[in-house]
Structure 1
Amino acid sequence: MPSPSDALADLPLRDDLVGLQPYGAPQLDVPVLLNVNENTFGVPADVHAAIVAAVAEAATGLNRYPDREFGELRRNLADYLGHGLVPDQLWAANGSNEVMQQLLQAFGGPGRTAIGFPPTYSMYPLLASGTGTRYVTAPRGAAYTMTPGDTAREVRESGANIVFLCSPNNPTGTALDLEVVEAAYEAGEQARAIVIVDEAYGEFTQDGTPSALTLLPGRPRLVVSRTMSKAFALAGARLGYLAAAPEIADPLRLIRLPYHLSAVTQAVANAALTHAGTLLSNVEAIKVQRDRIVRELEALGLSPAPSDANFVFFTGLEDPRRIWEGLLEAGVLIRDVGIPGSLRVTAGTEQETTLFLSTLRDLL
């Protein structure tokens, strides 16, 4: 019997997909999961009850297709984000990955180029590959920083049609100055580049860290992507969205699958948005644990990056694989992001954070 790889070799797979590996972190059954930046606090009881009631109501009409324009959801998202946004400026899909895939389908594709600034979210090149978009990279500066001048030069020289800016950045947790976003946008003028600011962790930023949402007025090619997976503790619901000029949504209607947001997904998201205050109170508790991790890692002689996310990236490990395995043996799963001397840990509950820190201290 042929092996799976031999069987795959007999299929007419696209040349640009040959040899690629699917995206995904290890899925292991351990007590403390701090590897994929989930909200480990879970859904509060009152929000859970509201979601159950909303899904039950939606279930009575599952014989009908859902609202393909998801009007109620767009109104609720606009109200939640504020910044003077109106429903026509919002678009949603099954996770922010699908949002970005749709943007690449509409504005990328064969003969077009996307640029990213690694280390950054590893789905960007996979999304580009899946849509036939050429993907190029540009270096960051010391401590993984980006400056307006360097960013503008790289965007201009690449001639990119799509620019990915991740802020707070995954895996480093660092936020971008808005001057970097402005510089990238201006540098992409000649190529009419769509500039995507991926703010998946936007709710976790430090006080005083501004959002790229403030830059939307007057910039029709600027897109800010968000998700309900992190702050809203809805990773399993798969709801991502973007804010942009109203005209951005029209090209996305050309390539989205019919009725791409199920009635159940819309019901879950709408119920959660009506309880945003309760969910965001957990965000503040997560930020406390994140800042605690940073302080205690510094006390251990390690070098955590300043974090505006719900995770901490840290360096200074002589043997990160030994540390990762030791934590796993103790029932704590964190993320090896493949950067020498480094690991990344999600900020969990107080108890989860304590177990991570005490185990790490013993291993060091």
Structure 2
Amino acid sequence: MTRIDELPIRDELRGKSPYGAPQLNVPVQLNTNENPHPLPDALVRRIAERVSEAARTLNRYPDRDAVVLRTQLAAYLTETTGQPLEPTQVWAANGSNEVLQQLLQAFGGPGRTALGFDPSYSMHALIARGTGTEWISGPRTEEFDIDVEAAVAVIREHRPDVVFLCSPNNPTGTALPAETILALYEAAQQARGGRGALVVVDEAYAEFSHRPSTLPLIEGRPTLVFTRTMSKAFGAAGLRLGYLAADRAVVDAVQLVRLPYHLSAITQATAHAALEFSETLLGYVAELKTERDRVVAELRALGLDVTESDANFVQFGRFADAADVWRRLLDHGVLVRDNGVPGRLRVTTGTRAENDAFLDAVRAVTKEINE
């Protein structure tokens, strides 16, 4: 059998591993930041209606520009962030990862660079590599924040074409204040000598944050982009629908690289239905925020170091051997994520029963280690 390293793949892909997380059949799965609540029955019925309607015309290509869906998304963002948006300022694709890929296809590529602040969402670097964009890793503080002065220095040194800011950040859960985003945006523009750089704020977990949305910052900033997903707050990870909000010119740019008819009629129909139930689904988000805060308090009561979280997950530690703790939790039927942050693990906020099982497992493992 031929090995991958025997194929004529690009040199920068040799020796690399694909993105992924363990998919194990255990009682409590809290490792992929999914929303634990199944969609309500009324929404499931509405999806069936929408999909049935779409199925009647599957012999035809879907709306290439997803105008109706983008109109709904613009209305949702306008209502929840207070920033008036037109459909021409919104773009949708198959998950926020495809949105990010399209942005790098349009603004990155060979001879260009992208900068992020690690630890952060590993797909930023992977998509950069996949589009031939050089990746530069910037620093975070010991508390996993971004030190503005240090970040500005890195931007001035490397003059990146694209800057990624993750807020709330994955895997740490930390969110960025508006002042930090503004400072790094201005530094990125100045570093390029007037040509400017694209600054992408990845807001996949924005609905779970205690902070007000920073999306209104796009006003008057043509190269500032916010990306979001329906996988988390909308409980629709299986839908694969992500979107961005930006200046209309950015939307025009990504359409230069998007594949024709990239969003299927079924995807669009399902997303239409989910957006009709946004108020109900955001009610689940409120419950998960309360549960997340409870998990944080319980973990701290056990003497663990817990990173402040504005997401639907919590980073906790510090452990002398995080991999060993991960295995011990798995032995207790609980799957969490080892993201490679030294001494720490990440747990998704689940239902109350799942969170109780996780906390019981942590207590048991802590006792085992201390005996």
Relative to the length of structure 2, the TM-score reads 0.95
Q: Distance in 2 between matches of 1:9 and 1:276?
A: 46
Q: Distance in 2 between matches of 1:118 and 1:32?
A: 28
Aligned 8 A contact 2:30 2:334 in 1: yes
Runs of 4+ in 1 over 4 A off after TM superposition: none
Asked if 1:61 is matched to 2:63, the reply is no
Aligned 8 A contact 1:167 1:174 in 2: yes
| Residue in 1 that maps onto 2:177 | 177
Question: C-alpha deviations, 1:127-153, integer Å up to 9, x for none?
Answer: 001000000011112311113322222
| Residue in 1 that maps onto 2:66 | 70
Aligned 8 A contact 1:168 1:176 in 2: yes
| Residue in 1 that maps onto 2:120 | 120
Letter in 2 for 1:12: P
Q: Distance in 2 between matches of 1:52 and 1:32?
A: 29
| Residue in 2 that maps onto 1:49 | 45
Deviation at 1:266, TM superposition (A): 0.4
1:245-256 pair list within 5 angstroms: 245-256=247-258
| Residue in 1 that maps onto 2:215 | 213
Q: Distance in 1 between matches of 2:99 and 2:239?
A: 15
Deviation at 1:332, TM superposition (A): 1.2
Q: Distance in 2 between matches of 1:184 and 1:297?
A: 33
Aligned 8 A contact 1:312 1:344 in 2: yes
Deviation at 1:230, TM superposition (A): 0.2
Q: 195, 198, 212: which is aligned to 1:194?
A: 198
Question: C-alpha deviations, 1:242-271, integer Å up to 9, x for none?
Answer: 000011111111110000000000001111
| Residue in 1 that maps onto 2:316 | 314
Secondary structure (helix, strand or coil) at the match of 2:181 reads: helix
Q: Distance in 2 between matches of 1:9 and 1:205?
A: 43
Secondary structure (helix, strand or coil) at the match of 1:144 reads: coil
Q: Distance in 1 between matches of 2:184 and 2:197?
A: 9
Q: Distance in 2 between matches of 1:148 and 1:359?
A: 38
Deviation at 1:106, TM superposition (A): 0.2
Aligned 8 A contact 1:162 1:196 in 2: yes
Q: Distance in 1 between matches of 2:343 and 2:43?
A: 40
Question: C-alpha deviations, 1:263-315, integer Å up to 9, x for none?
Answer: 00000111100110011110011111100110000000001111000000012
| Residue in 2 that maps onto 1:36 | 32
Identity of aligned residues (%): 55
Question: C-alpha deviations, 1:36-86, integer Å up to 9, x for none?
Answer: 100011211111111111111111111100001101101100110111011
Question: C-alpha deviations, 1:181-209, integer Å up to 9, x for none?
Answer: 11111111142110000000000001xx1
Greater shift in the superposed pair: 82-91 or 41-50: 41-50
Letter in 2 for 1:306: E
Secondary structure (helix, strand or coil) at the match of 2:343 reads: coil
Gaps of 5+ in 2: 367-371
Secondary structure (helix, strand or coil) at the match of 1:236 reads: coil
Letter in 2 for 1:260: H
Q: Distance in 1 between matches of 2:72 and 2:151?
A: 34
1:70-219 pair list within 5 angstroms: 70-82=66-78, 83-190=83-190, 191=192, 192-206=196-210, 209-219=211-221
| Residue in 1 that maps onto 2:369 | none
Letter in 1 for 2:250: I
Secondary structure (helix, strand or coil) at the match of 1:254 reads: coil
Q: Distance in 2 between matches of 1:249 and 1:172?
A: 30
Aligned 8 A contact 1:197 1:212 in 2: no
Aligned 8 A contact 1:93 1:239 in 2: yes
Secondary structure (helix, strand or coil) at the match of 2:118 reads: coil
Aligned 8 A contact 1:34 1:346 in 2: yes
How many aligned residue pairs are there?
A: 358
